[in-house]
Amino acid sequence: MKLIAAMSGGVDSAVAAARVAEMGHEVVGVHLALSSNPQKYRSGARGCCTIEDSHDARRAADVIGIPFYIWDMASEFHEGVVENFIAEYSNGRTPNPCLRCNEKIKFAAVLDRARALGFDGVVTGHYAQMKETSAGRLMYRAVDPAKDQSYVLAVLNSEQLAGAHFPLGDIVKTDTRKEAKARGLYVANKPDSHDICFVPSGDNAGWLRDRLGSESGPIVDESGEVLGEHQGAYTYTVGQRRGLGLTVPAAGGIPRYVLKIEPKTNTVVVGAHEALAVEKIVGDRPIWCGPAPISGRDHRGFAQVRAHGQPLACTYSHNNLEITVHLDEPLFGLAAGQGLVIYDDDRVVGSATVSETA
Amino acid sequence: MPAYFDHAATTPLSALATSALVEQMAKIGNASSLHSPGRLIRKDVEEAREQIAGLVDANPSEIIFTGSGTEANNLALKGFYWKAHAQDPQRRVVLISAIEHHAILDPAEWLDEHEGAELVFIPVTSAGSVDLVFLTDFVQRRGSEIAVIAVMHSNNETGTLQPIAEVVAIAGDIPVHTDAVQSFGKVDFSFSQLGVTSATISAHKIGGPLGVAALILRRGLDLTPILHGGGQERDIRSGTLNAPSIVSFAAAAQESTSKMAERAIYIRSLKKYLVESLFAIFPDITVNGDQTHSLPGIVNITFPGTESDGLLLLLDAEGFYCSTGSACSAGVPRPSHVLLAMGVSERDARSSLRFSLSFSNTRAEIDQLCEVIGSVVHRARAALARG
For chain A, where do the domains classified as CATH 2.40.30.10 start and end? Answer: 276-357
Q: Which of A67, A70, A116 is opposite residue B330, by nearest beta carbon? A: A70
Q: Which of A69, A115, A118 is opposite residue B309, by nearest beta carbon? A: A69
User: By residue range, what is the domain housing residue B71?
Assistant: 15-258
Interface confidence, given as ipTM, is 0.86
Selected residue with higher pLDDT from B286 and B327: B286
For residues B306 and B212, membership in a common domain is answered with no
Q: Residue B332: its chain A contacts at CB < 8 A?
A: 33, 36, 38, 70, 72, 74
The pLDDT value given to residue B46: 98
Question: At B243, which CATH number?
Answer: 3.40.640.10
For residues B245 and B266, membership in a common domain is answered with no
Contact A54 B317 (CB under 8 A): no
Q: Residue A115: its chain B contacts at CB < 8 A?
A: 386
Residues 6+ apart with CB under 8 A from A358: A278, A279, A280
Best to test chain B binding among A50, A113, A160 (most B CBs inside 10 Å): A113
Residue A322: strand pairing partners: A284
Residue B333: strand pairing partners: B327
For residues B227 and B151, membership in a common domain is answered with yes
On whether the A2-202 domain is CATH 3.40.50.620, my answer is yes
**Catalytic-role residue among A49, A197, A289, A314:** A197
Considering the domain A276-357, what is its CATH architecture? Answer: Beta Barrel (2.40)
Contact A117 B380 (CB under 8 A): yes
Question: Quick one: pLDDT band at residue B328, thresholds 50, 70, 90?
Answer: low
For residues B238 and B282, membership in a common domain is answered with no
Does the CA dihedral B242-B244-B246-B249 come out positive or negative?
Answer: negative
Q: What mean pLDDT do residues B165-173 have?
A: 98
Chain pair A-B, CB pairs under 8 angstroms? 61
Contact B317 A28 (CB under 8 A): yes
Catalytic residue list contains B322 = no
The pLDDT value given to residue B327: 67
The pLDDT value given to residue B216: 98
- The class (CATH top level) of A214-271 is mainly beta
DSSP, collapsed to helix, strand or coil, labels residue B287 as: strand
For residues B247 and B322, membership in a common domain is answered with no
For residues B291 and B335, membership in a common domain is answered with yes
Give the C-alpha separation, B282 to A333, whole Å.
61
Contact A113 B330 (CB under 8 A): no
pLDDT 10s digits, B205-235 = 999 999 999 999 999 898 999 999 999 999 9
The distance of Cα A192 from the centroid of its chain, to the nearest Å, equals 15
For residues B111 and B32, membership in a common domain is answered with yes
Best to test chain B binding among A35, A69, A73 (most B CBs inside 10 Å): A69
Chain B residue at shortest CA distance from A35: B332
Last residue of a domain, one of B225, B258, B291: B258
Q: Which of B313, B379, B382 is opposite residue A69, by nearest beta carbon? A: B313
The pLDDT value given to residue A190: 83
For residues B26 and B56, membership in a common domain is answered with yes
Question: At B314, which CATH number?
Answer: 3.90.1150.10
B36-56 and B243-258 helices cross at what angle (nearest 10)? 30
Instruction: Please write down the HEC assignment for all residues of chain A.
Output: CEEEEECCCCHHHHHHHHHHHHCCCEEEEEEEECCCCCCCCCCCCCCCCCHHHHHHHHHHHHHHCCCEEEEECHHHHHHHHHHHHHHHHHCCCCCCHHHHHHHHHHHHHHHHHHHHCCCCEEECCCCEEEEEECCEEEEEECCCCCCCCHHHHCCCCHHHHHCEECCCCCCCHHHHHHHHHHCCCHHHHCCCCCCCCCCHHHCHHHHHHHHHCCCEEEEECCCCCEEEEEECHHHCCCCCCCCCCCCCCCHHHCCCEEEEEECCCCEEEEECHHHHEEEEEEEEEEEECCCCCCCCCCEEEEEECCCCCCCEEEEEEECCCEEEEEEEEEEECCCCCCEEEEEECCEEEEEEEEEEEC
Give the C-alpha separation, B245 to B7, whole Å.
19
Per-residue b or e along B259-288, where b marks 16 or more CB atoms closer than 10 Å to that residue's CB = ebeebbebbbebbebbbeebeeeeeebebb
CA distances from A156 to A111, A146, A288, B238, B267 (A): 12, 21, 7, 60, 52
Element (H or E) spanning B133, and its range?
helix B132-142
Q: Residue A67: its chain B contacts at CB < 8 A?
A: 313, 316-317
pLDDT 10s digits, B69-96 = 999 999 999 999 999 999 999 999 999 9
Contact B309 A72 (CB under 8 A): yes
The pLDDT value given to residue B387: 57
Contact B314 A118 (CB under 8 A): yes
For residues B239 and B291, membership in a common domain is answered with no
**Catalytic-role residue among B1, B28, B34, B328:** B328
For chain A, where do the domains classified as CATH 2.30.30 start and end? Answer: 214-271
Residues 6+ apart with CB under 8 A from B165: B193, B194, B195
Contact B330 A112 (CB under 8 A): no
**Total count of domains within chain B:** 2
Q: What mean pLDDT do residues B267-281 have?
A: 98
Count Cβ atoms below 10 Å from residue A79 Cβ, excluding itself: 11
Q: Residue B382: its chain A contacts at CB < 8 A?
A: 116-117
For chain A, where do the domains classified as CATH 3.40.50.620 start and end? Answer: 2-202
Q: Is a pLDDT exceeding 60 seen at residue B112?
A: yes
Question: Quick one: pLDDT band at residue B130, thresholds 50, 70, 90?
Answer: very high
The pLDDT value given to residue A47: 41
Question: Quick one: pLDDT band at residue B330, thresholds 50, 70, 90?
Answer: low
For residues B252 and B357, membership in a common domain is answered with no
For residues B333 and B228, membership in a common domain is answered with no
The distance of Cα A341 from the centroid of its chain, to the nearest Å, equals 11
Give the C-alpha separation, B312 to A7, whole Å.
19
pLDDT 10s digits, B47-69 = 999 999 999 999 999 999 999 99
For residues B226 and B333, membership in a common domain is answered with no
Last residue of a domain, one of B196, B229, B258: B258
Q: Give the single-character DSSP code of B143.
A: G
Residue at B143: amino acid letter: G
Chain A residue at shortest CA distance from B316: A67
The tens-digit pLDDT sequence of chain A (358 residues) is 999 999 999 999 999 999 999 999 999 999 998 876 545 444 443 344 567 888 899 999 999 999 999 998 988 999 999 999 999 998 889 999 999 999 999 999 999 999 999 999 999 999 999 999 998 899 999 999 999 999 999 999 999 999 999 999 999 888 999 999 999 998 888 887 767 888 867 788 888 888 888 889 999 998 888 988 988 888 888 888 888 878 777 777 788 999 998 888 899 999 999 999 999 999 999 999 999 999 999 999 999 999 989 999 999 999 999 999 999 999 998 999 999 999 999 999 999 999 999 9
Chain B residue at shortest CA distance from A105: B387
